[in-house]
Amino acid sequence: MGAPSRESVTATLNPDPGTLPVVPNDGSEPVFANPWQAQIFSLVVGLHQGGCFSWREWTENLSAEIAADQNADADHSGEEANPSDSYYRLWVRALERILTNKTILSPDDVQRRVAQWRKAYLNTPHGKPVALPSSREQVSTLG
């Protein structure tokens, strides 16, 4: 069993007893529901393996994001069509939180790059590989 602090956090959860998801059939659930889930997963594990943060730091930040998400308005959770999207969305937030705290990347850095990628997608003719103007990198994995 967990330490008392864990139990007290559990007690603040407010699950609806009727909403335990149906047990998925073994094998019918893909490991990753779409490419970006695989990308955020590998990014977090890869950064950890490279020494960027300890796994304990990771779980602390992820737990904090999960707790914050559950305390937010009830209609906020489950907005994604796929339940695993809501889970990996919290991975994205937790990673951004760690990177900001460690002053590796600021939210502004990320938003600027998001805008660049968005523009690159919109300006690239259909069927051509997408690349940033300043980068030779070609993207073919976004789906």
Partner 1 sequence: MTSDDHHSHDHTESPVDLALQVKALESLLVEKGLVSEETLDALIETYEHKVGPRNGAQVVAKAWAQPEFKEWLLKDANAAIASLGFTGRQGEHMRVVENSAKVHNLVVCTLCSCYPWPVLGLPPVWYKSAPYRARVVRDPRGVLVEFGTSLDDDVQIEIWDSTAEMRYLVLPERPVGTEDWPEEELANIVTRNSMIGVETVHVTEDGDNSGAKADS
Q: Which of residues 24-53 bind partner 1 (CB under 8 A)?
A: 24-29, 31-32, 34-36, 38-43, 45-50, 52
CB of 92 to partner 1, least distance (A): 6
- Binding track over 66-85 against partner 1, x by CB under 8 A: xx--x------x-----xxx
Q: How far is the CB of 25 from partner 1 (least distance, A)?
A: 6
Main-chain phi, psi angles of 124, to 5 degrees: -95, 125
Q: How many residues bind partner 1 (CB under 8 A)?
A: 86
Dist CA 88 CA 90 (whole Å): 5
b/e string for 102-137 if b means 16 or more Cβ within 10 A? eeeeeeeeeeeeeeeeeeeeeeeeeeeeeeeeeeee
Residue 133 lies near partner 1 (rule: CB under 8 A):
no
